[in-house]
Amino acid sequence: MNVFAISDLHISGDGAKPMDVFGGKWVGYLPKIVADWNKKVSDDDVVLICGDISWAMNLPDAMRDLSLITPLKGKKVLIRGNHDYWWKSISQIRAALPCGFYALQNDCVKFGKTIICGTRGWCVEGSPDFKEQDRKIYLRETERLKLALSAAEKVREDGDEIYCMVHFPPFNARRENSLFTDLFESKGVSKVIYGHLHGSDSRTDLKIVKNGVEYYLTSCDQVNNELTLIGEFL
């Protein structure tokens, strides 16, 4: 089993919000992702999709957008991004998702010796876009991350690894610790996967190691519309 990741698909099935208006790597990006997915992923693999999945405003339209990746191989694990306006009731989402999809919201799923947990996250203190009104959401998302990690701890056995999915980068441009990174370190998370960042001025490398935790940026335009290999297992 291999674990891959990608984020920020921004699927617009009705064409209302085409991403190619941004030019560059967004031109024809979805067929490129599908082609790379078909080349790399087998039925036993897992693909983590770290938010901003669909521009849809409601669940039926989001399910239409997800039909693009439904036939693709692998188990698909989703978390909410800041543009997933269709993501409201987690029970309704899980009921609507096709077989092989897993929606995480402050909880976890386990495949073999790999536990995957996740929540949306938020911008952190020290970021240029962090305002005082963000503090309440930041603290709330910290509590949600605690719930996700608690769920992971309950099913953790000897030899298990914890991967955590968040949409927002969990640190600022100076890579200072945040409430999120403190939790990753204290709870023994081995790998964190995130997205949200776009453009040539993206403020971090695709992979960094900070205090023993590996962090992967997987926004599709940052990774040349290719899936990132996060883990390999026998």
At residue 87, the pLDDT reads 97
Contact predicate 24/221, CB 8 Å: yes
Dihedral angle at the C-alpha atoms of 141, 143, 147, 149, nearest 10 degrees?
Answer: 80
Contact predicate 191/161, CB 8 Å: yes
At residue 21, the pLDDT reads 76
Number of helical H runs and strand E runs in the chain: 5, 11
Q: Please name each of the domains of the chain with its CATH number.
A: 2-232 (3.60.21.10)
- Strands of the sheet with 107-111, listed across from one edge: 107-111, 114-118, 161-165, 191-194, 213-217, 207-210
- Say how far apart CA 77 and CA 102 lie, in whole Å: 5
Q: What is the largest CA-CA distance in the chain?
A: 48
188: β partners: none
At residue 200, the pLDDT reads 67
At residue 124, the pLDDT reads 95
- Nearest-5° angle of CA 152, CA 9, CA 46? 40
Which of 173, 174, 171, 222 is CA-nearest to residue 192? 171
Task: Look up residue 146 and give its two tokens.
Answer: 């605690």
Residuewise pLDDT in 10s, the chain (234 residues): 999 999 999 999 877 787 887 778 899 999 999 999 999 999 999 999 999 999 999 999 999 999 999 999 999 999 999 999 999 999 999 999 999 999 999 999 999 999 999 999 999 999 988 999 999 999 999 999 999 999 999 999 999 999 999 999 999 989 999 999 999 999 999 999 999 998 765 556 899 999 999 999 999 999 999 999 999 875
